[in-house]
Amino acid sequence: MQNKEDYRAIEARYYMPAFARDLMIVRGEGSRVWDADGKEYIDCVAGIAVCSTGHCHPAVTRAICEQAKRLIHCSNLYYVPGQAELAQKLVEKTGMAKAFFSNSGAEATDGALKLARVRTGRKKFVAFTHGFHGRTIGSLAVTHKPAIREPFEPLGISKTFVEYGDIDGLRKVVDSDTAGVVVEPIQGEAGVIIPPDSFLHGIREICDESGALMIMDEVQTGMGRTGKWLAIQHAGVKPDIVMLAKGIASGFPMGALLAREGLEFRRGEHGSTFAGGPLACAAALATFGVIDEILPTVSEKGERFCNALSKYAPRARGLMVGMTVGDRCAEVQKRCAENGVLVNCAADGNLRLVPPLVITNAEIDRACSVLKDALG
Ligand SMILES: *Cc1c(COP(=O)(O)O)cnc(C)c1O
């Protein structure tokens, strides 16, 4: 293994500097990772809510290795092993009607925008302030943060941003040419911002009245992260389209689009070389099995974080926990890392904890004690 300083120099010379980073993680097991110097961390980042089954869960690793020996790729020109079974499982757990796979969250968003346009025949979208939906041209168009979007405008998609939570504002801008309203049930990149259920019910109502589609971005909140398969299930609202990605295959790149009855791509309308390939489906099917088992424990574990951190007014649903820390966020993140706990600063000084769903009570207690120390 190269030492980090040598590695840093090679990267500086040959890799585009789009990321600010410091640690070099070389190994993981369960909720723990090790850096290049052998230092151990409790991982409350989990690849940003990706490694829900923990790092290298034996069932997931086994499924990937066994599939890699049988068939790595075959193309969507043919039936793909695992693809239909995975679609069936996702549909059954979410109450949606059909699935379609992609390679990432951004691509799932792009697929949702395409599906909404082609089935409604309408052009425009509405999204929300502080919302994040991805970095491709299409998904970036409905992502709010001006600093990451504006340098790339025009993005060719007509959209309006409404204050997250503002139902009256939404009612004013949705009209008969609105194809869809794109929304996160809990805003993740914004720092775990949890709206009242009435906001989600209100969007459903406005979409029903106007014929716009309710497009629910569950890329971060889905796959058990909040204690249910979808976060929107807490509110009892049925969206028209759902996007999934991060937690779906334990770190193997994959995304998914789920849609209600009557909404589907017809032959030739959408496609992808890699999406829903045999390896991704094998990883996702194994992930699905693990999550199905641990899902009942997720809410309790979230509460354990909240109880330990109650002094700092945490916001949480399941194992998606946020706290407003302010200007000190980066410093707190650094101190936690020094003391063996990985946490992440999302937007606006909001600390975000999205550990593996398999994290143990002992690991939660240890992480919280380090956090409290860093927060003071
Ligand atoms: C991460 C994220 C995306 C983008 O997913 P990528 O796989 O990075 O393209 C989209 N929406 C939400 C809510 C996300 O958290």
Q: How far apart are CA 278 and CA 275, in angstroms?
A: 9
Cβ neighbours, 10 Å, residue 122: 18
Cβ neighbours, 10 Å, residue 241: 25
| CB proximity list for 83: less than 8 A, separation 6 or greater | 101, 276, 281
Write out the two tokens for 137: 């041209």
Centre of ligand 1 to C-alpha 5, Å, is 30
Which atom of ligand 1 lies closest to the CA of 189? 15
Closest CA to 104 of 84, 134, 66: 134
The dihedral sign for the CA sequence 194, 198, 199, 205: positive
H or E element, residue 320: strand 320-324
Helix and strand totals (H; E) in the chain: 12, 15
| Choice from 103, 246, 252, 354 to test ligand 1 binding pocket (greatest atom count within 8 A of CB) | 246
Cβ neighbours, 10 Å, residue 225: 28
190 CB under 6 A from ligand 1? Answer: no
219 CB under 6 A from ligand 1? Answer: yes
Q: How far apart are CA 153 and CA 144, in angstroms?
A: 12
Evaluate whether 111 touches 276 at the Cβ level (below 8 Å).
no
Identify residue 208 by its one-letter amino acid code.
Answer: D
Which atom of ligand 1 lies closest to the CA of 187? 13
Longest dimension (CA), the chain: 60
- The separation between CA 109 and the C-alpha centre of its own chain, rounded to angstroms, equals 11
220 CB under 6 A from ligand 1? Answer: yes
Which atom of ligand 1 lies closest to the CA of 253? 7
Domains, in order of start, for the chain: 4-56+296-375 (3.90.1150.10), 59-288 (3.40.640.10)
As to burial, measured by CB atoms within 10 angstroms (0-12 exposed, 13-18 middle, 19+ buried), residue 3 is exposed
Centre of ligand 1 to C-alpha 269, Å, is 23
The pTM of the full predicted model, rounded to 2 decimals, is 0.98
43 CB under 6 A from ligand 1? Answer: no
Centre of ligand 1 to C-alpha 84, Å, is 24
Which atom of ligand 1 lies closest to the CA of 48? 1
Which atom of ligand 1 lies closest to the CA of 131? 13
pLDDT tens sequence across 30-78: 999 999 999 999 999 999 999 999 999 999 999 999 999 999 999 999 9
- pLDDT value of residue 1: 57
Write out the two tokens for 152: 């790339």
Q: How far apart are CA 23 and CA 20, in angstroms?
A: 10
**Is it true that the peptide bond before 154 is cis, omega within 30 degrees of 0?**
yes
pLDDT tens sequence across 11-33: 999 999 999 999 999 999 999 99
Q: What is the CA radius of gyration of the chain?
A: 20
How high is the mean pLDDT in each 10-residue block of the chain (376 residues)?
86 96 96 97 98 98 98 98 98 98 98 98 98 98 97 96 98 98 98 98 98 98 98 98 98 98 98 98 98 98 98 98 97 98 96 98 98 96
